[in-house]
Amino acid sequence: MGIKVAVYQGEENGVLGIGVKVLDDQANLADLLAAWQPLCDDEDVYRIYGNCSSSPCKGCKINCCNTAYVIPDLIAFKNIAKQLNISYTEFIFNYFQADKYEKGLLRLEPEPCIFLADNICTIYDIRTLICRFYLCSNLLPSTEQFIYDITWTGVAATQLFALEEDLIGPISQNGLTSFDKLFVNLLAEYQDNLQVELFKKAKEYKDIPLKPFLKSL
């Protein structure tokens, strides 16, 4: 089997950064994640916050996991609950920020992330797309949009799934911060995408084809 997805460092519209090339029409999200993962520990990749701009993510002292605003994509949401061996209701009650989910917004408990222990992610192998794709590195604009579209489609699928299963109620704007509202607007933007159905039907990332998202690249 040949390489289906490649990452590279290049330039686009005067911007230097990391880019993605999808080399096979049959490539799926698991292929993209497999190509992306080595970037996390590649010391040749420029890091905005890294020590001397070239440290791997593991052991980073900045550790964005301490403050990140994380809403899981639907595949991660289901996988984490399964690993914890708890119901979705218990998952939301015990691991999500109470004042947010009471308003219909599913943010994992932050500052630090509830899954962070001794500065290490305890669910690394099944972490969410927001976490998998984050690098404190510049991305080429088209690649950034590509990653954004996939991630927020998956997050919107979580929101719709939770509503349909009566795990949360509709989002209430009352008492939301301006930052909350930014995420609410993103959810509204992506929830009507046809690709949301891909996440709702999928069991694993390999079940999500990349082809429907390629318009961004």
- Digit-coded pLDDT (tens) for 84-103: 999 999 999 999 999 999 99
pTM (2 decimals)?
0.92
Read off the pLDDT of each residue in 153-172 and give the average, rounded to a whole number: 95
Rounded to an integer, the average pLDDT of 26-49 is 86
> What ranges do the domains of the chain cover?
58-207
Whole-number average pLDDT of the chain: 90
- Long-range interactions of 191-199: CB distance < 8 A, separation 24+: 191/156, 191/159, 191/160, 193/153, 193/156, 195/149, 195/153, 196/153, 196/156, 196/157, 196/160, 198/153, 199/73, 199/74, 199/75, 199/153, 199/154, 199/157
Of the listed ranges 12-16, 35-39, 73-77, 100-104, the one predicted with least confidence: 12-16
Contact predicate 135/56, CB 8 Å: no
Listed residue (31, 28, 61, 33) closest to 132, CA to CA? 33
